[in-house]
Amino acid sequence: MRGRWCYLYRAIDRNGDLVDTMLSEHRDMAAAQAFFRSAKAVTGMTPDRVTTDGHGSYPRAIRGTLGRRVVHRTSACKNNRLEQDHRGVKGRTRCMRGFKSLASAERFCRSHDELRNFRRLRTRHNQRVPACRRRLLHLRRATAALNILMAA
């Protein structure tokens, strides 16, 4: 955003479905706590395990926000699933050459993730869907998304 770094916090569940997303100018304790509070409020429950990239502020933010019973994992292999899911947003924003304000960047990231999650053609991770069923589901979900956008 305007040549400065911003940090996109994203949470997905074990099926790969989007839980919550937040864009922040800072990558610190306050931002991590705000994100964990938001993700907990969205789901209405506390997770058993949280996997992160191992930034120094996460362990204290997890303990303070989610509790001491939550297992914090920092394995690069286990974090790869989130990084691959994050690739869609990165690829889309690169060709747009960034944003001019934090509000527009946050609005784009949230709506991109929500729409992408809505149009997902599977209900479980690695579930195979036949091509004829994929076309039908894609048409239904695209029509529903367009109706939502027209109403807004």
Give pTM, 2 decimals. Answer: 0.63
What is the CATH T-level fold of the domain 7-118, as seen in this structure?
Nucleotidyltransferase; domain 5 (3.30.420)
For the cut 60, the answer to whether the pLDDT of residue 54 exceeds it is yes
Other CB atoms within a 10 A radius of the CB of residue 105 amount to 20
Two structure tokens written together for 119 = 């149009």
**What residue ranges do the domains of the chain occupy?**
7-118
Residues of the chain above pLDDT 70, percent = 69
At 96 the three-state DSSP class reads helix
- Distance in angstroms (rounded) separating the CA atoms of residues 70 and 9: 18
Within 8 A by CB and 6+ apart from 6, the residues are 23, 24, 25, 102, 105
Paired with 121 in beta bridges are: none
Q: Sorting pLDDT into bands at 50, 70 and 90, what band is 148?
A: confident
pLDDT-based confidence at 80, cuts 50/70/90? low
d(CA 61, CA 59): 6
pLDDT at 83 over 70: no
The whole-number average pLDDT for the span 49-60 is 85
Pick the closest to residue 52 from 73, 37, 32 (CA basis): 73
Over residues 78-93, the mean pLDDT reads 65
Separation of CA 78 from chain center: 16
- Rounded Cα–Cα distance for residues 54 and 19 (Å): 20
Mean local confidence (pLDDT), 3-16: 77
Instruction: Quickly count: other Cβ atoms within 10 Å of residue 129's Cβ.
Output: 13
Phi-psi bin for 23: left (phi > 0), alpha (psi -120 to 50), beta? Answer: beta
Segment 32-47 mean pLDDT? 88
